[in-house]
Structure 1
Amino acid sequence: MKSLNIFIVEDEPLIVSTIEVALRKQGFFAVGDAEDYTTALRDIELLKPDLTLLDIQLSGDKDGVDLAIELDKKNIPYLFLSSQTDPNTIERVKHTNPLGYIVKPFTETSLRTNIELAWHNYNESKQHFLSIKHEGRLHRINQNSIQYLKAFDNYCYIVTKTETYLVPHTLKHISEQLQGNDFIKAHRSYVVNLKHILSVNKNTISLIDESIPVSASQKSLVVSRLKSL
């Protein structure tokens, strides 16, 4: 599991320090904290943490549930970390979409377990599948496993780590079915998954088991997108 960057929204400095220590011990990074709605929303958008730990009781007029509603609108993942379990609070929480609810006081083990499970479920929910017909059978391909697409006349090769599929659709048609921002056109005949690139050379892109061409016009864009991952 990657070392997550985690932002803390909590109005008690002592508890913030306790959470920061617990996160460091478990291999996570505390990238910042805030005690009120306005500061938290500003800093989360600025720092772009992987995950936010969100208390409900905050300084100011707006609380953690108000902040959660805004994070939901922006598709920013978060977990509640709170001691509040009263029926009214839980009823308000039901109208938000947290990855979990950690009840204070917490142990370092429960904190790590909840974060790991939440992050795993979050990533699973982001998985996208491509449905194609190949050799008379329907296949569902996890698009994260796709290394690249290759044009072949009015057909297209879909190349994964373990399989190669030839489908009766153009490169343009298949690439338009892909979700997210991980794929980029590297050449007029190739679309590559940025997450599978090992290096970009003068005229080629190196993947795990092979290389594909990169055009001069696309090379700088590929490099720029790689740096932003």
Structure 2
Amino acid sequence: MKSLNIFIVEDEPLIVSTIEVALRKQGFCAIGDAEDFTTALRDIELLKPDLILIDIQLNGEKDGVDLATELDKKNLPYMFLSSQTDPNTIERVKYVNPLGYIVKPFTETSLRTNIELAWHKYSESKQHFIVIKHEGRLHRINQNSISYLKAFDNYCYIITNTKTYLVPHTLKHISEQLKGDNFIKAHRSYVVNLNHILSVDKNTITLKNDSIPVSASQKSLVVSKLKTYK
């Protein structure tokens, strides 16, 4: 599991510190915190965390459930981390879409376990597949498994972790089917999955099981994307 960048929305400074320490000890990155609705929305927009932990009781008129309603509109993943379990609060929570609800007080182990399980479920729901025809059969390919695409005249090779497929479509046609921002053109004949890159040197991208060329015109873009890609 990757080291998630987590933003904390909590109005008690001591509890914020406790959560930050627990997250770091469990291998996560605490990238910021806020104690009220307005500041949280602003900083989340700026910092773009992977996951937000929200206490329900916050400073100001709007609370954590109000914040959750706004995050749902933006399709951003969050979990509640709160001591409030009264029926009225739980009833309001039913109308928003958290990945989970961690009840305070928590242990470091329960915090990690809840986050890992929730993130795994969320990641699974965000996976995308493409359907191709190869050697007379239809194949459903998880695009996360694709290392790179390679142009071959009006055909395209799709290279995954375990198999290579040759399909009767152009590189452009196949690349346009891929969703997300983890695929980038490395060369006029190659599109690479950022998640599979191990290193980039002068004119080569090294992957786990292969290496491909990177053109001078695309290298700076690939490197820039790698530095900012989560």
| Equivalence for 2:148 | 148
Does 1:133 find its partner at 2:168? Answer: no
Q: CA deviation at 1:86?
A: 2.6
- CA separation in 2, counterparts of 1:208 and 1:154? 27
Cα distance change of structure 1 residues 149 and 27 upon mapping to structure 2, 3 Å threshold:
closer
| Equivalence for 1:118 | 118
- CA separation in 2, counterparts of 1:200 and 1:14? 43
Runs of at least 5 residues in structure 2 that lack an aligned partner in the other structure:
none
- CA separation in 2, counterparts of 1:4 and 1:215? 31
- CA separation in 1, counterparts of 2:34 and 2:149? 44
| Equivalence for 2:44 | 44
> What is the one-letter code of the residue matched to 1:110?
S
Cα distance change of structure 1 residues 90 and 200 upon mapping to structure 2, 3 Å threshold:
same
- CA separation in 1, counterparts of 2:20 and 2:228? 27
Structure 1 stretches of 4+ moved >6 Å: none
Q: CA deviation at 1:152?
A: 1.5
| Equivalence for 1:56 | 56
Q: CA deviation at 1:190?
A: 1.4
CA RMSD of aligned residues (A): 1.7
TM-score by length of 1: 0.92
Aligned residue pairs: how many?
229
| Equivalence for 1:197 | 197
- CA separation in 2, counterparts of 1:132 and 1:121? 26
> What is the one-letter code of the residue matched to 2:14?
L
Q: Deviations over 1:110-154 (max 9, x none)?
A: 212111111111211221111111112221111111111111222
Q: CA deviation at 1:104?
A: 2.0
Runs of at least 5 residues in structure 1 that lack an aligned partner in the other structure:
none
Does 1:67 find its partner at 2:64? Answer: no
Q: Which moved more, 1:174-183 or 1:134-143?
A: 134-143
- CA separation in 2, counterparts of 1:129 and 1:194? 17
Cα distance change of structure 1 residues 169 and 108 upon mapping to structure 2, 3 Å threshold:
same
Cα distance change of structure 1 residues 201 and 26 upon mapping to structure 2, 3 Å threshold:
closer
| Equivalence for 1:88 | 88
> What is the one-letter code of the residue matched to 1:93?
V
TM-score by length of 2: 0.91
Q: Deviations over 1:29-87 (max 9, x none)?
A: 32222211011112222222222110111110111011111112222211001122233
Does 1:4 find its partner at 2:12? Answer: no
Cα distance change of structure 1 residues 188 and 17 upon mapping to structure 2, 3 Å threshold:
closer
